């Protein structure tokens, strides 16, 4: 009396190589084992060979005294410090040029990208010329040119150009006055940060009110006022000191004040000018990707050209722009390693010196790769998060 | 930069795949290949630099030629690889070159931790400073606060930091890897001071300065820099050949043998000369090469004194006096072990 029960499970098949799931599993296990074996083989053979040739290995060198000096850095460092600290100086120098470079390249690139679409014939042609020239010359060459321009064109420190009181231009870089260690300047700094936070708060409130009531609020002006006004207020509260730490020529070079080295300036200029060419094209293509009907609709609603660009076109263009822009940010960061050629002490330069002084090439190269991997992945993750956020707001 | 990273990566890969080195591996490989691959400086006139015809010349290049002459009887069987200071050790470790003859200073750390050996000294040097005359600096002790151009990955870079620390002075380093670039930075005025081995300073001043008389080399030498060739660990026969190629040149000078009187010297009755030139004894066989090895070296490269004068001494633009590099019999340090 055989009867089929509805909903019964299919009978269990014996495990067979004819089952595609089983085959898939086997392939994956085999592939994984092959990769693991390769890694194990390379690692163990490397270690064995390094030992056979009596080449020093390991990370012990990080705590040894580095013994070499570094031209510039964000934290204090001297030859008596460890290799680890020297490497940290290098990482911070890389981050410094990458972060400032990304901000400036974005600003410059956006301006040029919009200029290329301008109805002003001269402006549009100049922007096209810029893009074609700087995008098509190798970056390394541009770096050499900027470096040569700075070190050949400017006079020595004793004949430094002095365009404004306290500012000196020479082939040792730009020297400028800095605020001394006084409470008033700390207050001003706090005021600046507070101003930015309040400006964001005001902008958010204004937008909510606009959606709720339709009333507009000049949040742009209010924000600018806060960002400029609060630091001035802080400075006034601190007693409004006017004394600045001035650079002064003494012996070989300037003492006091702040300075921007020619190496940093050349590298930053090169990276910004080169990357801005690519960013300009990305911005232009992003704007062109927004259909013309959108603009016509916005203008017929009575929005001004500026409002149209800011409220209608750019938010939609951003969706197209973000992903290729991420590539450019990653490129700029990785290209900063060309610093070695002109002597800016970035992580590649310092890790190279370290691996040469210690003879531990594998560790040195591993450090460089790890640092760039970490920076790149951070940028990519941030940009992906931003991309998602933009996409959500749109829908 | 890219090239160096590639080189370092290649080194890692080479080290990863290479079977452990066996004794004699380099010697046999070079012999089978028929030419020596020699790592040299890419451009220090007098030590190693290509001349107007693209031929490499210099005292370091002569050492490569001497080894080729000893092994093959032909000094032209050398392939030269120009290396920066930072590339040099990796290139030798990875087997890209057979000998490193690139004004490299011997130190304890380098001798022990790199898996390489120093063979001998072909130039005794010391680190000096060069400044523009118009700065009116008379002594290195007056350099406090100066900006100093230096190449990275050198003992120079470390001595510089040591010297300023010991004398409680500050300085700002400008560290550029390529020799041509660091020299250009100095002559453009980016730095007050350029520092490297005194011989390198003389070479740079003679060949690259817009006007050599505008620059002075300060009297202080702040370090000992014994410069010499290096080979990889693991092949003592190769080490011996390079070492004795150098010694043969020094020993020849001491015994009055040079490239001009060489064939007359073959008839010499002096047993020392006979042993060097292979007329008597089996010195070459002991090294694994032809008994005419030293004859071939002197024939094509000359003795140490000839090589010195031609490349860095009175016969060259550099005009560096022999001083420490004179023979021990004349008050210098050059002293070869006896060929016996």
Handedness of CA B151, B154, B159, B162 (dihedral sign): positive
Task: Identify the DSSP state of A308.
Answer: I
CA-atom Rg of chain B in angstroms: 21
* Residue B12 backbone zone (phi > 0: left; psi -120 to 50: alpha; other: beta): alpha
CA distances from A334 to A368, A374, A376 (A): 11, 11, 8
Is there a contact between B16 and A364 if contact means CB atoms under 8 Å apart?
Answer: no
User: Which residues of chain A have a CB within 8 Å of the CB of B162?
Assistant: 67, 79
In a domain, A209, yes or no: no
Structural contact between residues B83 and B40, judged by C-beta atoms closer than 8 angstroms: yes
Structural contact between residues B45 and B207, judged by C-beta atoms closer than 8 angstroms: yes
Q: What is the CATH number of the domain that holds A356?
A: 1.10.3720.10
Domain boundary among B190, B223, B256: B223
Is there a contact between A252 and B146 if contact means CB atoms under 8 Å apart?
Answer: yes
Q: What is the pLDDT of residue A177?
A: 82
User: Which residues of chain A have a CB within 8 Å of the CB of B172?
Assistant: 69, 71, 253
Which of the four pLDDT bands, split at 50, 70 and 90, describes residue A257? confident
What is the C-alpha to C-alpha distance for residues B219 and B224, in angstroms, rounded to an integer? 14
Domain boundary among B184, B207, B223: B223
What percent of chain A is predicted at pLDDT more than 70?
Answer: 95
**Location of structure tokens 């890694």:** A39
Residues B144 and B197 in one domain: yes
**Coil, strand or helix: which one is A93?**
helix
What percent of chain B is predicted at pLDDT more than 70?
Answer: 93
Q: Is the pLDDT confidence value at B200 over 80?
A: yes
Instruction: Please count the CA atoms within 13 angstroms of the CA of A41 that sit on its side-chain side.
Output: 10
Q: Is the pLDDT confidence value at B57 over 90?
A: yes
In a domain, A385, yes or no: yes
Which of the four pLDDT bands, split at 50, 70 and 90, describes residue B8? low
Residues B110 and B243 in one domain: yes
Q: Is the pLDDT confidence value at B78 over 50?
A: yes
Number of H helices, E strands in chain B: 14, 13
**For residue B163, how far is the Cα from the chain centroid?**
24
CB atoms within 10 A of CB B12: 19
Domain count of the fold of chain B: 2
What percent of chain A is predicted at pLDDT more than 90?
Answer: 39
Q: What is the pLDDT of residue B1?
A: 44
In a domain, B339, yes or no: no
Nearest-CA distance from B78 to chain A in Å?
25
In a domain, B336, yes or no: no
**Chain A nearest-CA residue for B15:** A46
Is there a contact between A337 and B21 if contact means CB atoms under 8 Å apart?
Answer: no
Domain boundary among B174, B199, B223: B223
Is there a contact between B20 and A49 if contact means CB atoms under 8 Å apart?
Answer: yes
Structural contact between residues B48 and B122, judged by C-beta atoms closer than 8 angstroms: no
Nearest-CA distance from A364 to chain B in Å?
9
Is there a contact between A71 and B189 if contact means CB atoms under 8 Å apart?
Answer: no
Of residues A42, A59, A46, the one with CA closest to residue A355:
A59
Which residues in A161-193 are b (16+ Cβ under 10 Å) and which e?
Answer: eeeeeebbbbbbbbbbbbbeeeebbebbeebbe
Instruction: Please count the CA atoms within 13 angstroms of the CA of A377 that sit on its side-chain side.
Output: 6
In a domain, A8, yes or no: no
Residues B49 and B33 in one domain: yes
Is there a contact between A46 and B12 if contact means CB atoms under 8 Å apart?
Answer: yes
Nearest-CA distance from B177 to chain A in Å?
7
CB atoms within 10 A of CB B281: 16
Which of the four pLDDT bands, split at 50, 70 and 90, describes residue B20? very low
Q: Is the pLDDT confidence value at A54 over 70?
A: yes
> A258 vs B205, which has greater pLDDT?
B205
Of residues A359, A351, A66, A352, the one with CA closest to residue B233:
A359
Residues B208 and B289 in one domain: no
In a domain, B263, yes or no: yes
DSSP lists the bridge partners of residue B232 as B116
In a domain, B103, yes or no: yes
Nearest-CA distance from B173 to chain A in Å?
5
Q: Is A299 exposed, middle or buried (0-12, 13-18, 19+ CB in 10 A)?
A: middle
In a domain, B178, yes or no: yes
Residues B302 and B321 in one domain: yes
Which of the four pLDDT bands, split at 50, 70 and 90, describes residue B12? low
Q: Is the pLDDT confidence value at B85 over 90?
A: no
Contacts made by residues A75-84, CB under 8 angstroms, sequence distance 24+: A78/B165, A79/B158, A79/B161, A79/B162, A79/B165, A80/B165, A83/A354, A83/A358
Nearest-CA distance from B26 to chain A in Å?
14
**Chain B nearest-CA residue for A170:** B190
Contacts made by residues B4-10, CB under 8 angstroms, sequence distance 24+: B4/A352, B4/B84, B4/B86, B4/B87, B5/A348, B5/A365, B5/A368, B7/B87, B7/B90, B7/B91, B7/B94, B7/B96, B8/A355, B8/A361, B8/A362, B8/A364, B8/A365, B8/B90, B9/A365, B10/B94, B10/B96
In a domain, A313, yes or no: yes
Of residues B161, B44, B144, B152, the one with CA closest to residue B103:
B44
CB atoms within 10 A of CB A14: 5
Pairing relationship of beta strands B99-105 and B36-41 according to DSSP bridges: parallel
Residues B52 and B179 in one domain: no
Q: Which of A257-271, B38-52, B60-74 has the highest mean pLDDT?
A: B60-74
Q: Is the pLDDT confidence value at B130 over 90?
A: yes
- Judged by average pLDDT, the poorest of A214-218, B174-178, B277-281 is A214-218
Q: Is B104 exposed, middle or buried (0-12, 13-18, 19+ CB in 10 A)?
A: buried
Report the complex ipTM: 0.72
Residues B88 and B132 in one domain: no
In a domain, B334, yes or no: no
**Coil, strand or helix: which one is B130?**
strand
Q: What is the pLDDT of residue A10?
A: 58
What H or E segment, with its residue span, contains residue B128? strand B127-132
Of residues B190, B149, B176, the one with CA closest to residue A340:
B176
- Helices B155-166 and A347-358 cross at an angle (nearest 10°) of 90
Residues B207 and B314 in one domain: no
Q: Which of B1, B15, B177 sits opposite A337 (nearest CB)?
A: B1
- Judged by average pLDDT, the poorest of A106-120, A298-312, A361-375 is A298-312
Is there a contact between A343 and B172 if contact means CB atoms under 8 Å apart?
Answer: no
**For residue B139, how far is the Cα from the chain centroid?**
28
User: Which residues of chain B have a CB within 8 Å of the CB of A251?
Assistant: 144-146
Which residue in B152, B162, B186 has the most chain A C-beta atoms within 10 A of its own C-beta, making it the best mutation to test that interface?
B152
Instruction: Please count the CA atoms within 13 angstroms of the CA of B17 that sit on its side-chain side.
Output: 7
Q: Is the pLDDT confidence value at B257 over 70?
A: yes
Of residues B184, B156, B189, B199, the one with CA closest to residue B60:
B199
In a domain, B37, yes or no: yes
User: Which residues of chain B have a CB within 8 Å of the CB of A348?
Assistant: 1, 5
Which of the four pLDDT bands, split at 50, 70 and 90, describes residue A1? very low
What H or E segment, with its residue span, contains residue A375? helix A361-394
Average pLDDT (A264-289) is 94
Residues B216 and B231 in one domain: no
Of residues B262, B297, B294, B300, the one with CA closest to residue B281:
B294
Q: What is the pLDDT of residue B18?
A: 47
Q: Is the pLDDT confidence value at B179 over 80?
A: yes
Nearest-CA distance from B283 to chain A in Å?
29
In a domain, A124, yes or no: yes
B80 phi and psi, to 5 degrees?
A: -95, 140
What is the residue range of B142's domain? Answer: 127-223
Task: Identify the DSSP state of A8.
Answer: P
Of residues B254, B255, B281, B286, the one with CA closest to residue B268:
B255
User: Which residues of chain B have a CB within 8 Å of the CB of A172?
Assistant: 147, 190
Q: Is the pLDDT confidence value at A7 over 70?
A: no
Average pLDDT (A57-69) is 87
Give the pair of three-digit tokens for residue A17.
């190589």
What H or E segment, with its residue span, contains residue B232? strand B225-232
> A243 vs A72, which has greater pLDDT?
A72
Residues B26 and B75 in one domain: yes
In a domain, B340, yes or no: no
Q: Is the pLDDT confidence value at A334 over 80?
A: yes
Residues B168 and B90 in one domain: no
**Chain B nearest-CA residue for A357:** B153
Q: What is the pLDDT of residue B52?
A: 86
In a domain, A355, yes or no: yes
In a domain, A303, yes or no: yes
Nearest-CA distance from A363 to chain B in Å?
10
Q: What is the CATH number of the domain that holds B149?
A: 3.40.190.10
Domain count of the fold of chain A: 1
In a domain, A139, yes or no: yes
For the stretch A147-193, pLDDT in tens is 988 888 888 887 888 887 778 888 888 888 877 766 777 888 888 89
**Chain B nearest-CA residue for A39:** B16
Q: What is the pLDDT of residue A395?
A: 45
What is the residue range of A266's domain? Answer: 83-153+261-394
Q: Is the pLDDT confidence value at B11 over 60?
A: no
Structural contact between residues B119 and B242, judged by C-beta atoms closer than 8 angstroms: yes
Contacts made by residues A129-135, CB under 8 angstroms, sequence distance 24+: A130/A277, A130/A280, A131/A277, A131/A280, A131/A281, A133/A277, A134/A273, A134/A274, A134/A276, A134/A277, A135/A274, A135/A277, A135/A278, A135/A281
Is there a contact between B16 and A46 if contact means CB atoms under 8 Å apart?
Answer: yes
User: Which residues of chain A have a CB within 8 Å of the CB of B230?
Assistant: none
Residues B151 and B79 in one domain: no
């Amino acid at each position: 009396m055989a009867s089929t029960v509805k909903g019964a499970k299919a009978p269990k098949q014996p495990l067979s190589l004819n089952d595609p799931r089983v085959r898939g599993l086997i392939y994956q296990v085999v592939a994984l084992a092959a990769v693991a074996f390769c890694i194990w083989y390379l690692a163990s053979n490397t270690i064995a060979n390094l030992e056979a040739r009596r080449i020093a290995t390991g990370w012990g060198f990080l705590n040894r005294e580095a013994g070499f000096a570094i031209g510039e850095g964000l934290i204090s460092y001297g030859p008596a410090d460890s290799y680890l600290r020297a490497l940290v100086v290098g990482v911070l120098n890389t981050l410094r040029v990458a972060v400032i470079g990304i901000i400036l390249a974005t600003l410059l690139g956006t301006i040029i990208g919009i200029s290329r679409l301008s109805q002003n014939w001269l402006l549009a042609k100049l922007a096209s010329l810029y893009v074609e020239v700087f995008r098509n010359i190798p970056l390394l060459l541009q770096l050499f040119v900027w470096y040569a321009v700075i070190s050949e064109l400017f006079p020595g420190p004793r004949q430094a150009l002095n365009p404004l009181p306290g500012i000196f231009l020479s082939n040792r870089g730009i020297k400028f006055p800095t605020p001394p260690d006084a409470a008033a300047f700390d207050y001003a700094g706090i005021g600046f940060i507070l101003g930015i936070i309040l400006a964001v708060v005001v902008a958010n409130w204004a937008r909510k009110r606009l959606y709720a009531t339709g009333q507009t609020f000049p949040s742009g002006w209010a924000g600018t006022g806060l960002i400029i006004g609060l630091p001035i207020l802080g400075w006034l509260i601190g007693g409004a000191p006017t004394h600045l730490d001035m650079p002064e020529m003494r012996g070989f070079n300037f003492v006091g004040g702040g300075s921007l080295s020619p190496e940093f300036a050349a590298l930053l200029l090169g990276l910004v000018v080169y990357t801005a060419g690519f960013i300009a094209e990305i911005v232009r293509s992003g704007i062109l990707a927004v259909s013309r009907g959108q603009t016509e609709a916005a203008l017929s609603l009575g929005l001004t050209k500026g409002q149209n660009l800011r409220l209608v076109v750019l938010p939609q263009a951003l969706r197209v722009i973000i992903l290729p822009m991420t590539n450019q940010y990653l490129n700029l960061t990785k290209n900063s390693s060309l610093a070695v050629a002109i002597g800016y002490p970035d992580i590649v330069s310092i890790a190279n010196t370290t691996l040469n002084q210690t003879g531990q090439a594998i560790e040195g190269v591993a450090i460089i790769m790890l640092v760039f991997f970490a920076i790149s992945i951070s940028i990519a993750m941030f940009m992906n998060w931003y991309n998602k956020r933009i996409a959500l707001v749109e829908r | 930069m890219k090239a160096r990273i590639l080189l370092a990566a290649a080194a890692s890969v080479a080290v990863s795949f290479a079977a452990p080195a066996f004794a004699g591996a380099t010697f046999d490989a070079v012999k089978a290949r028929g030419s020596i691959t020699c790592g040299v400086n890419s451009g220090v006139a007098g030590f190693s630099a290509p001349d107007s015809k693209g031929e490499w010349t210099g005292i370091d290049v002569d050492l490569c030629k001497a080894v080729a002459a000893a092994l093959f009887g032909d000094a032209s069987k050398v392939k030269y690889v120009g290396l920066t200071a930072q590339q040099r050790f990796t290139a030798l470790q990875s087997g890209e070159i057979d000998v490193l003859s690139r004004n490299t200073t011997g130190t304890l750390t380098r001798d022990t931790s790199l898996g390489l050996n120093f063979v001998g000294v072909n130039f005794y040097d010391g680190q000096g400073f060069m400044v523009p005359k118009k700065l009116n600096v008379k002594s290195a002790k007056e350099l406090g606060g100066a900006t100093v151009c230096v190449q990275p990955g050198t003992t120079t870079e470390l001595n510089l930091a040591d010297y300023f620390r010991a004398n409680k002075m500050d300085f700002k380093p400008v560290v550029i890897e390529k020799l041509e670039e660091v020299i250009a930075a100095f002559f453009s005025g980016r730095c007050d001071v350029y520092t490297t081995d005194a011989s390198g300073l003389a070479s740079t001043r003679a060949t690259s300065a817009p006007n050599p008389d505008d620059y002075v080399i300060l009297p202080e030498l702040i370090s000992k820099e014994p410069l010499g060739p290096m080979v990889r660990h693991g092949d003592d026969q190769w080490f011996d050949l390079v070492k004795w190629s150098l010694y043969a040149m020094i020993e020849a000078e001491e015994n009055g043998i040079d490239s001009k009187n060489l064939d007359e010297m073959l008839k010499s009755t002096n047993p020392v000369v006979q042993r060097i030139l292979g007329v008597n004894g089996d010195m070459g066989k002991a090294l694994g090469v032809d008994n005419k090895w030293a004859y071939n070296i002197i024939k094509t490269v000359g003795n140490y004194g000839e090589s010195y004068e031609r490349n860095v001494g009175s016969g060259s633009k550099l005009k560096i006096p022999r001083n420490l590099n004179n023979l021990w019999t004349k008050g210098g340090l050059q002293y070869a072990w006896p060929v016996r």
